Structure 1
């Protein structure tokens, strides 16, 4: 569903991306600002229990993840450094979001949910690592129930609704996300294993 929505969001962001490009702002700068804003907002608002306000600010900065891609396509073929930076800072942004939620749960005495939030953080990193390592070895790994966009949507929507006082939604969202992330890790490991057993070891990069 999110992949189907991406073209529409891209069309909306194109005028802004064109304006920034004309002013000499690079996609890498947008990536860095988006990550810095995401982490700062998550660690400022979430530990204070300001979940709705924090989610609004984080969502604004998360859009930079799409905007930098739009700008990169305008300026020509994407650079290797840009792709590396974008992927690396995605992990930093995710860590900020779930760390902020974990802090809030600890402060509010919800230690089980703090553990679930940390599990989501670690599982999300493993999901991304499995794909990166598989592709480094010359295999594909574009499978899984919960990729990064889905994880962000579930996490942010749950936090935002929780901040508005909707009962149980944040806990339910995090448990769902933890389960989906664990399933995704399993799916990717099995997908890579099927490819690996059919490839002679000497051909792996």
Structure 2
């Protein structure tokens, strides 16, 4: 019932031709109100890992629940098949060779090269596992779909140099993926992209 009411509100105030406007998510999901939407439209062109569609300053995230010693503690929702691709950047630009970059790719499949991983310094060595204490998971079972937006939480702790990803309402439990790296404390931006043949959607800056 709630989703029907929200749908009517969106159609009236956003317009029937476009259910969601760019940059402003008009939706309540799992009792969470999200203030921002990022869409990545697949073009069918070559996969470029660092072609970020939107870069957002972490300081501008209104609903950041960061605790003492943390840079970020927030929930976002992902809708689409592949690939979930979120990066944390040191600078507000497409990365150059020496920039600090932590990109998380979560992709699912049955072939060995499809995996979930953290990538660091990806401009210089795009597919190398450059730090042994950042997770790489092979052949994970599929979770995403095009009909339902799924919650995923992230915590960036600058005191312990950790990035932690939790699926669903998992904060407090074991993280789905984690990364330890001495440069974690340098990140200031969150960036989004995806696999170039798919359309995906992120709902960001959510109240939960």
Question: Normalising to structure 2: TM-score of the pair?
Answer: 0.29
The structure having more radius of gyration, on CA atoms, is: 1
Higher relative contact order (CA 8 A, sep 6+): 2
Structure having the higher helix fraction is: 1
